């Protein structure tokens, strides 16, 4: 059985180069595009159907919480799916990527049908999020599966972020073009266009990637884990999820990730309202034109690939957060000047934002493939799927909270999406309220993320030392023979004494 699986394309390693990285990363046309659709388009689309800001926020808030709970358990399901015939034949990750891609193709166009029922949007949205989780959670584990090498993982993840930035640009460019025709079905046509692009990308990436070969040794390690019934599985899964917080590097990484991405959520959710309602003389199409400047994020992503290797994640975190804070202050200056149709100023400030955003989105998911290595030396486990699920759960939870709070805040300041559609018919006090939420909430979150990032220690040099020690232990080396340098790095990254790391399999 193991020999047949090793010859299957799902388990056949290939050379990792720039081309392979780009093919792997194509799924993030949908991943990056969808995240920006959720935070930047869906809120405005549902508002445009005459649904109140509170219920619009509830669609995304409730939907993401439901999906977050599903995502929390789904990574563990993929980790264990190799035990089934389907998992062994098609891959414990690849099987679900394909299934999710088929469901997405059916569900996604359905969301863009016009209706005044917020419940319709809620349940279609939940179904889409579940399908996307089936794609992204196993796909995010693949760099860990495909290679143990830091530089090659960076090639894969860096290419992924380049594609993500491209997906963001495609989303807003397509919408800006189709909305410019003033067609009442512009959102529906845009949704269909996005579906075609995303599905092609998903299945190209699916075919170009692979999983860690199920060698007899790896199977023996996986099979040594106890087989559990439903109750035992639930208990083990919850225990594993809480266990991720024993990983010092992961705790810090998650905090930085959530603070920065939640700040980005507030920006994307409220930018269209700020531009159209808060600024004089801007057109309804201006927000989508400005968001299409996300293409500049591609340039900063290219630069970030090299900087990730030469300067490390802490440098990238700092660079991106400071750039975005400068951009947000630029929006404040534009608002305070009161210039009629300040489009040229908005373009300049938005380019600065998009350059910072490209690095912001690049960095956390380039760090992620190395987190399971820290866990492995601490627990002797294989939990890449668990970590992907925990990150996805908290990302969706904070994203849900951000969108709900944005909708609730607009409702509280008296914004009415039906009657207040332009700058001229919106009271000045409500314009000031929109400005305060749009500018100062992201700045506050990014300042907190910047402070947390200053103490982040997982970089290439430390990972190389960790990986060498991990390889030594996997080859049967004694813990008693650890070097002082390796001991210090392991303790720095895990947050635990070396003696408590790499437990015997019988103790797991």
356-411 pLDDT per residue, tens: 998 998 899 788 888 999 999 999 887 877 887 788 788 888 888 888 899 999 99
* pLDDT tens-digit series, residues 292-321: 898 898 889 889 988 988 898 999 999 999
Instruction: Check whether 507 has a pLDDT greater than 60.
Output: no
**pLDDT value, residue 5:** 43
Which of 31, 123, 85, 82 minimizes the C-alpha distance to 388?
31
Least confident of 226-235, 321-330, 371-380, 439-448: 226-235
Instruction: State the average pLDDT over residues 320-343.
Output: 96
Give burial (CB, 10 Å; 0-12/13-18/19+) of 164: buried
Running DSSP on this structure, what letter comes out for residue 481? Answer: G
Rg (the chain; Cα; Å): 23
As given in the structure block, the two tokens for residue 451 are: 């402070």
Give burial (CB, 10 Å; 0-12/13-18/19+) of 138: buried
Number of neighbours of residue 246 by Cβ within 10 angstroms:
15
Instruction: Check whether 1 has a pLDDT greater than 60.
Output: no
As given in the structure block, the two tokens for residue 492 are: 């720095």
Spatial distance between the Cα atoms of 379 and 473, rounded to a whole number of angstroms: 12
**pLDDT value, residue 240:** 86
Spatial distance between the Cα atoms of 210 and 500, rounded to a whole number of angstroms: 33
Spatial distance between the Cα atoms of 359 and 362, rounded to a whole number of angstroms: 5
Instruction: Check whether 89 has a pLDDT greater than 90.
Output: no
Contact 93, 141 (CB under 8 A): yes
What are the DSSP E strand ranges found in 407-474? none
* pLDDT tens-digit series, residues 141-164: 898 888 888 778 877 877 776 787
As given in the structure block, the two tokens for residue 454 are: 């200053």
Which of 112, 73, 258 minimizes the C-alpha distance to 81?
73
Number of neighbours of residue 340 by Cβ within 10 angstroms:
9
Q: How many residues does the chain have?
A: 508
Instruction: Check whether 427 has a pLDDT greater than 60.
Output: yes
This prediction has a pTM of 0.79
Instruction: Check whether 58 has a pLDDT greater than 60.
Output: yes
Give burial (CB, 10 Å; 0-12/13-18/19+) of 421: middle
Q: How far is CA 16 from CA 94, 144, 163, 205, 215, in A?
A: 18, 13, 16, 14, 20
Q: In the block, which residue shows the tokens 């399971």?
A: 372
Question: Which residue has better confidence, 185 or 485?
Answer: 485
pLDDT-based confidence at residue 472 (cuts at 50, 70, 90) = very high
Given CA atoms 399, 404, 407, 410 in this order, what sign does their dihedral have? negative
Domains and CATH numbers, the chain: 15-218 (1.20.1250.20), 236-507 (1.20.1250.20)
Dihedral, 163, 169, 170, 172 alpha carbons, nearest 10 = 150
Largest CA distance in the chain: 74
Instruction: Check whether 471 has a pLDDT greater than 90.
Output: yes
**pLDDT value, residue 283:** 85
As given in the structure block, the two tokens for residue 427 are: 């009271």
Q: Which helix (H) or strand (E) holds 480?
A: none
**pLDDT value, residue 4:** 44
């Amino acid at each position: 059985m193991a020999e047949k699986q090793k010859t299957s394309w799902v388990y056949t390693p290939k050379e990792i180069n720039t081309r392979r990285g780009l093919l792997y990363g194509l799924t993030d046309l949908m991943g990056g595009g969808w995240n920006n659709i959720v935070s930047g388009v869906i809120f405005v689309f549902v508002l445009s159907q005459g649904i109140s800001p509170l219920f619009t926020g509830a669609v995304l808030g409730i939907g993401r919480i439901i999906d977050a709970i599903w995502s929390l358990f789904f990574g563990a399901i993929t980790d264990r799916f190799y035990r089934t015939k389907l998992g062994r034949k098609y891959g414990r990750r690849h099987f679900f990527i394909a299934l999710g891609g088929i469901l997405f193709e059916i569900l996604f166009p359905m969301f863009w049908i016009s209706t005044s029922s917020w419940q319709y949007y809620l349940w279609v949205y939940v179904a889409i999020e579940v399908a996307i989780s089936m794609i992204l959670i196993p796909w995010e584990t693949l760099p860990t599966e495909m290679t143990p090498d830091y530089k090659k993982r960076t090639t894969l993840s860096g290419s992924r972020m380049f594609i993500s930035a491209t997906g963001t640009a495609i989303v807003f460019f397509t919408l800006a073009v189709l909305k410019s025709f003033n067609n009442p079905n512009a959102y529906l046509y845009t949704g269909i266009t996005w579906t075609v692009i995303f599905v092609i990308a998903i299945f190209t990436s699916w075919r170009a990637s692979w999983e860690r070969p199920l060698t007899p040794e790896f199977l023996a390690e996986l099979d040594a884990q106890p087989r559990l019934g439903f109750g035992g599985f639930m208990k083990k899964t919850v225990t594993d999820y809480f266990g991720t917080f024993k990983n010092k590097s992961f705790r810090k990484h998650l905090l930085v990730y959530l603070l920065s991405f939640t700040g980005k959520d507030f920006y994307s959710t409220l930018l269209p309202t700020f531009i159209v309602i808060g600024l004089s003389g801007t057109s309804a199409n201006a927000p989508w034109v400005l968001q299409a400047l996300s293409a500049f994020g591609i340039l900063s992503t290219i630069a970030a690939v090299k900087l990730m290797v030469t300067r490390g994640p802490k440098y990238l975190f700092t660079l991106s957060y400071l750039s975005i804070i400068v951009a947000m202050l630029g929006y404040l200056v534009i608002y305070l000047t009161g210039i009629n149709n300040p489009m040229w100023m908005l373009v300049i400030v938005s380019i600065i934002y998009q350059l910072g955003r490209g690095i912001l989105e690049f960095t956390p998911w380039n760090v992620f493939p190395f987190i399971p290595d820290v866990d492995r030396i601490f627990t002797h486990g294989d939990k890449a799927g668990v970590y992907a699920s925990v990150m996805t759960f908290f990302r969706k939870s904070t994203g849900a909270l951000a969108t709900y709070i944005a909708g609730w805040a607009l409702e509280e300041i008296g914004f009415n999406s039906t009657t207040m559609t332009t700058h001229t018919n919106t009271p000045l006090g409500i314009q000031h309220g929109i400005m305060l939420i749009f500018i100062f909430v992201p700045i506050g979150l990014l300042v907190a993320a910047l402070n947390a990032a200053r103490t982040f220690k997982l970089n290439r040099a430390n990972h190389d030392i960790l990986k060498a020690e991990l390889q030594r232990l996997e080859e049967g080396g004694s813990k008693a023979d650890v070097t002082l340098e390796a001991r210090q790095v392991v303790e720095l990254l895990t947050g635990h004494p070396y003696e408590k790391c790499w437990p015997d399999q019988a103790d797991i």
